[in-house]
Structures are given as C-alpha cells and as structure tokens.
A and B are shown apart, each in its own frame.
Chain A
C-alpha cells in the first residue's frame, strides 16, 4: 500500500497536507464534505429535483450509511459525487462537493477523470452487469492498476493477484483468466471491490453493494468491507435501504426522503432516539426493534411525486405529526424545516423533532 503518500501533491492543487495517516482527522478539512448539493432531471413533464439540498461529511475510516426508499435520491446523490449523473437528462444544479477542501464540482472533465477511481471509487449494486462480459476479470482489474498506479509489465500481474486476494477471492492466481460468467455473484462482487480498491481510493461509494446477493454472502462481503476499511483507512459511503446492514456496518446514518436529507445521526443514537417521524416510521417498518415494538408497521401512503412536491416538508402529507399539527395550522405545509441540532452529530429537519403524534 505504498504510493498512498504523495497523492495530495498531484497537480499541486490540494496542498493542504496529508490525510494524517489512518487517523480520523485530516487537517483543517474533512475528507469529504457535501454542502447543499442539488441535482435535477429534466423530464417531459418538468424538472424533477432528485437531490435537493443534501449536506453531509465523511472522514477517513468512517462509514456513513445513506438510507431511503427507492426513488429517494440515494443513487443520484452517489453519482453526483463522481459527477457521473447521466447528462442529459440529469444535471447538478448547485452545492459543493469538497474533497479535502477541493470542490469537485469546479473541476474540468479531465481533472475529474483523475479523481474517479484514484480518490473516489464506486462499487455497484449488480456485480453481474458491472463487469464487462467479454474481458477476463484479470484484464479488468489490470486496467485499474495500470491507469492509476502506473505499473507496467509483470508488476501488473502481481498487483492484480494481490488486489483479488485482498478482496478475498479464493485462489486468485487461477481465476485471473476467468470470464465474469464463470464466477458466482459473490465472487463477482469481490472482483468489483478489487477493481475499486486497486486504485487505492480514499473514499469508497458502495451503492447497495449486497442487495443482489444471498444473505450469507451479504454478511461476508460486509465483513470484508469492514476489514478493508480498518486496514486501508477508507471512508465508505454506504447506500442501502436495509437497516440491518446499517446497524451492522455504519458509524453514522443519513436518512434521505424525496431528495432531502431529513435526519443525520450517529448509528447508536439513530436506533435509540430517532427524531424525524420518517426515521421512526422506517424503524417501525423494519424488523429491528424500533419504538413501535413487536408488530411491523407500514408507513401510510407512498413516496411523493418528485415532479409535484408539496410546498414545505416533503414528508408532511404522510406524517401523523404534521396531520395533528395541521389542525392547529402548523408550519409543516409552509416551509422545509431548518436543521435542529439534537446532540453530537445529530441533525434533524423537522418542525416537531421527537414529537410523537
């Protein structure tokens, strides 16, 4: 894992010192800081605001889980960080994505190519389609190794085997010449992880990395990610809808609803004291012990139409608290609530944080 030092000197742009080894702080800047990120899709029916004012930060060695339903903007947020939102129809319309203080949104396309993989890498949901079917897995890992580590010749082959071994692929030497369809889903996902980590990134975005896999394989891959994180000091942005995965791996949780990050909290705090009604609903609807107790409870209604969002808090139409407050003409339908700080690292956007009905 040499070659890690000196990456900060590239291009002389981010000259703010190293990341402080594997420690949690990295100088005056957070490793990754997202401020008021906004992105939209232009559709035939109008502008769809997929990401609407999302802010969070992430430090080395830390895992932030972003949870939310389908269509809440989880994947769009992830793609924004790499500037890979399909354009058209997608477009980042505002905010900042600061990597060690450097705004990725201000970089030119060429500079961004240098960031992808090398600084921020991504693991995709579906390992079956994230690999090119007509290249051997060795060739695909080698691409990443060559591009970002400048290795040539026999050193490439060794680095490929190392990367695959590090990702826990059994007998990597004999598998480098295999094609993706010859491997199981779990092994394919290990190859995808090997490719992502072959570039020695500082930040790993994992977009539902285990959703397509068996439960037992899921557990082993999550353990692998945790192990690699401890060893490499990776910052992981874990995108998931599975609160079990969150409880197992995350340090902090961000809850995304209709493109808004409605609550951010340390993981223990989140499960013990969720403050946003939607967070409580998610917990009550999962099998993990939530405030609802025994029975699973569904959240009434569905995700709102992002093209036709109500003014104010997007959750208000489904929110029991808002409904109760509405009888007294509460503010829920008028404006999106400002952040309320409810403890160390616990931020919630709700007019009535912690109020139950």
Chain B
C-alpha cells in the first residue's frame, strides 16, 4: 500500500464494502434500531418478521433487528480487542524470536508449538472455562488463541529480513538493535501482518460466536451475535428468525474479513503475482 503499487481487486473491494456496512451499522446502532434492544414487550412474543419488527421478536418480545445491530457492537469490539491482544503478543514475540534467534527463538517457538498443538476452539473453550464466563475471559481466550499463528508468521518474515544487506548496512553505520528493529524490521513486516490481521478478525468473530453459543461468552442481558444464536436455538422450530438473522450477520462479517484479507494478500504479497 505504501508503495502506491497495490490495487485492490474486486474481491477485496467487495469485502471492504461488506465490512463498511457492518461496521457502520454497528456504530450507528442506536440511530438505526427501531427499538431499544432490551425493551421487553411480552405481548409481542415470538412475532415473525413484520414491518414493525423487520426481523421479528424473541420470546420476551424484544426486537431482533435492534438486538442484532447492538450485538454487532459487542461482537466486533470483542473480536477487535482480542485481535489486538494477539497482535501485540504475536508481533512482539515473533520479531524478537526472528531477530535474535538462539535461545530466545527456542523459548518462543516451543511455546508457540504448545499452543498450536491444541485445536483453536478447544483451546479457547478451555481457557474461557478456566477463567469463568464473561467478557474479560473471552478476550484473554481469543487473544491467546490468535497469537501463535501470527508469531510464527512474523518470525519467519524477520528471519528472512535479518539476512538482507540493508540490515547489515544499518549495523555497519552503527545502528543499535532497537533502531534496526523499529526502523528496518517492523515496517517490513507490516504487509503480512495486515493480511493476517484481516483474516484473523474473521476467525475471532467466529470464535467469539462459538464461545457465546456455548454459553462461555458474554452473559445476558448483553447480547452478541453468538449468544443470540445460543438463546434462539431453543425456539428454532417455532421462530427460526431468532437464529437466522444473527447467524447471517456473523456470516456477512466473516465473509467480509476473509474477502478483504485474501484481496490484500493478492495486492500486497509480490510472491503471488503471476
């Protein structure tokens, strides 16, 4: 991007468009929502979609559209924060491991191996369950699930960079480690990190939904997309809209992040050029 060469392809633009819609809808939720998300209206329990309630109502008569819009704020905020935790851990440790090598590399990468030995979701469930349900434990769980992949990616990039002449040249004019890492190494791992972050955000949304679906995520009355699916499940045969609309929101957001990530990879990664 910095080189002015990258042109986003159609897929990436489509992904970006989806995300813009999703994020704007979440940000503007209080303005767009037809009703407050928590307003009970027992007389309107389990209504199918109507002009008054475009996505129907749940058992307590709450407007599903309003809850999907507000739930998006929760889902996106959790995913973003978890991804930031993963980025901080993964990039820092990856850069240090790749640059210094030796025992630093050994220690970091064996830890990564341990984390990668567990299936992502199982690990997240284990951590979230150990910490008890609630927002902070979801953040920690998803951050810890996300960092090893990033760390391995960044470490590989840095190991390749370390051998490049310009790093040696920077040392030869008296650059210290901090200077080299900040000015020469970090900027060169931005592109792969951006790609991985976009794809990672998609995974974080899915994982947050999964944790909430299992009851380990956000707790009532706060709703995220995953928890809406979780609580809608028991009415599935009578009121499928309780599951369909939050599920659709999850699908659209994940699709957007994946399309954007793939498109960015095509645009930023010269190795994939034909």
> Which residues does A use to contact B, with CB under 8 Å?
82, 84, 113-118, 121-122, 124, 126, 129-135, 143-144, 147-148, 179, 192, 195-196, 198-199
Asked if B110 is at the interface of the complex by the 8 Å CB criterion, the answer is no
Scan residues 170-210 of chain B and give those whose CB is less than 8 A from a CB of chain A. 170-176, 179, 183-184, 187-188
A113 touches B165 (CB 8 A): no
Ranked nearest first, the 4 interchain pairs of A and B with the lowest CB-CB distance are A117-B174, A117-B173, A116-B174, A129-B165
Set A84, A118, A129, A199: member contacting B166, Cβ < 8 A: A129
A122 touches B169 (CB 8 A): yes
B187 touches A115 (CB 8 A): no
Asked if B52 is at the interface of the complex by the 8 Å CB criterion, the answer is no
Asked if B271 is at the interface of the complex by the 8 Å CB criterion, the answer is no
- Docked pose: A274 CA to B165 CA in angstroms: 35
Residues of chain B with a CB closer than 8 A to A148's CB: 173-174
| Chain A residue with the shortest CB-CB distance to B163 | A86
Query: Can you name 9 extra interface pairs (CB under 8 A) apart from A122-B172, A124-B165, A133-B166?
Result: A84-B168, A113-B175, A131-B169, A132-B166, A135-B187, A144-B173, A147-B175, A148-B174, A195-B169
Set B3, B173, B176: member contacting A134, Cβ < 8 A: B3
- Docked pose: A94 CA to B238 CA in angstroms: 84
B166 touches A116 (CB 8 A): no
Asked if B114 is at the interface of the complex by the 8 Å CB criterion, the answer is no
Q: A129-B164, A135-B183 are in contact. Are A147 and B173 (CB under 8 A)?
A: yes
Asked if B272 is at the interface of the complex by the 8 Å CB criterion, the answer is no
| Chain B residue with the shortest CB-CB distance to A198 | B173
B183 touches A117 (CB 8 A): no
Distance of A8 from chain B, by nearest CB (Å): 17
A84 touches B165 (CB 8 A): no
Distance of A339 from chain B, by nearest CB (Å): 31
Distance of B187 from chain A, by nearest CB (Å): 5
Residues of chain B with a CB closer than 8 A to A122's CB: 169, 172-173
Main SS of chain A's interface residues? Answer: mixed
A134 touches B172 (CB 8 A): no
Asked if B117 is at the interface of the complex by the 8 Å CB criterion, the answer is no
Instruction: List the count of A-B residue pairs having beta carbons below 8 Å apart.
Output: 75
Asked if B130 is at the interface of the complex by the 8 Å CB criterion, the answer is no
Q: List 18 A-B contacts (CB under 8 A).
A: A82-B171, A84-B171, A113-B176, A116-B175, A117-B172, A117-B175, A124-B165, A124-B172, A129-B166, A130-B165, A130-B168, A132-B170, A132-B187, A133-B166, A135-B187, A147-B173, A147-B175, A198-B173
Distance of B19 from chain A, by nearest CB (Å): 26
Q: A135-B183, A135-B187, A143-B183 are in contact. Are A130 and B166 (CB under 8 A)?
A: yes
Q: A134-B2, A134-B3, A179-B3 are in contact. Are A118 and B168 (CB under 8 A)?
A: no
Q: A124-B168, A129-B164, A195-B169 are in contact. Are A134 and B174 (CB under 8 A)?
A: no
| Chain B residue with the shortest CB-CB distance to A147 | B174
Scan residues 7-34 of chain B and give those whose CB is less than 8 A from a CB of chain A. none
Chain B, residues 136-170, CB within 8 Å of chain A (1/0): the string is 00000000000000000000000000001110111
Set A115, A135, A143, A192: member contacting B175, Cβ < 8 A: A143
- Docked pose: A122 CA to B166 CA in angstroms: 12
Distance of A236 from chain B, by nearest CB (Å): 15
Name the interface size band of chain B. Answer: 10 to 19
B166 touches A115 (CB 8 A): no
Distance of A141 from chain B, by nearest CB (Å): 10
- Docked pose: A147 CA to B175 CA in angstroms: 8
- Docked pose: A129 CA to B163 CA in angstroms: 10
Give the most central of A118, A126, A132, A199: most B CB within 10 Å.
A132
B174 touches A192 (CB 8 A): no
Residues of chain A with a CB closer than 8 A to B184's CB: 132, 135
Residues of chain B with a CB closer than 8 A to A179's CB: 3
- Docked pose: A134 CA to B4 CA in angstroms: 11
Distance of A346 from chain B, by nearest CB (Å): 31
| Chain A residue with the shortest CB-CB distance to B176 | A113
B173 touches A121 (CB 8 A): yes
B173 touches A199 (CB 8 A): yes
Residues of chain B with a CB closer than 8 A to A113's CB: 174-176
B169 touches A192 (CB 8 A): yes
A82 touches B3 (CB 8 A): no
B171 touches A114 (CB 8 A): no
| Chain A residue with the shortest CB-CB distance to B174 | A117
- Docked pose: A113 CA to B172 CA in angstroms: 8
Scan residues 79-113 of chain B and give those whose CB is less than 8 A from a CB of chain A. none
Residues of chain A with a CB closer than 8 A to B188's CB: 132-134
| Chain A residue with the shortest CB-CB distance to B4 | A179
A121 touches B172 (CB 8 A): yes
Chain B, residues 110-142, CB within 8 Å of chain A (1/0): the string is 000000000000000000000000000000000
Residues of chain B with a CB closer than 8 A to A143's CB: 170, 173, 175, 179, 183
